[in-house]
Amino acid sequence: MIDAGKAGLDADALVHLHEAEMPESYADSVKLLGEMRDKIRDGFAAGNVEQADGPLHEVGHLLEHIETLVNQSSLSDDQKKQAAVAIESLFDTFGKVDARVHDKQGKAGKEYSEVTESVDASIKVLADLVDATKK
C-alpha cells in the first residue's frame, strides 16, 4: 500500500485506484475521505455532476478500506462501534445521493444538499478517532 500523504495523492488521483493503492494509515484514509467529500460537495454545488460522480462512485471503496483499518486497529470496542455507525451512515447517505444522480426522473434518493450535515457529522466522528488509532 502507498501512503497518500507521502505520495502527494489526492481525491482525484485515487479515483479508480484499487484497494492495494489505498492509503496505509487510518489518518490518511480519513483525510482522503474528507477530500472526496469536498469534491462531491463542490461538484454538486457547481452543478457539475461529472465532477461529483467519479468520487461518489469510489467513496464506497474507501469506506470499506477505512472499515478494515478500524477493525484492525487498537481502538476500544466503543470507539469501533462509533466508527462502524459513522461508516454505515456514510454508505447509506452516499448511496442515496448516487441513486438520485442515476434516477432519470430525479425522484429517487436525495440531493447532496439534503445530506450535507449527516455526511459532515459522520466524517467528524471518524476524524475524532484519528489520534486514538495512533496509540
For every residue of 107-121, which 3-state class applies, written as one string? CCCCCHHHHHHHHHH
Residue 22 has a pLDDT of 86
Of 92, 103, 108, 115, the closest CA to residue 44 belongs to: 115
In a domain? residue 28: yes
Domain that residue 37 falls in:
22-133
- Chain segment 10-23, per-residue pLDDT in tens: 444 444 455 557 89
The band of 8, judged by pLDDT with boundaries at 50, 70 and 90, is very low
In a domain? residue 29: yes
In a domain? residue 10: no
Given a contact cutoff of 8 angstroms between Cβ atoms, the answer to whether 78 and 130 are in contact is no
Percentage above 70 pLDDT, the chain = 84
Helices (H), the chain: 4-7, 11-14, 26-45, 49-72, 77-102, 112-128, 130-133
In a domain? residue 59: yes
In a domain? residue 9: no
In a domain? residue 63: yes
- Chain segment 81-117, per-residue pLDDT in tens: 999 999 999 999 999 999 998 887 767 889 999 999 9
In a domain? residue 100: yes
Number of domains present in the structure of the chain: 1
**SS3 of residue 133 by DSSP:** helix
In a domain? residue 107: yes
Q: Is the pLDDT of residue 50 over 80?
A: yes
| Residue the block writes with cell 495523492 | 9
- Chain segment 62-76, per-residue pLDDT in tens: 999 999 999 999 999
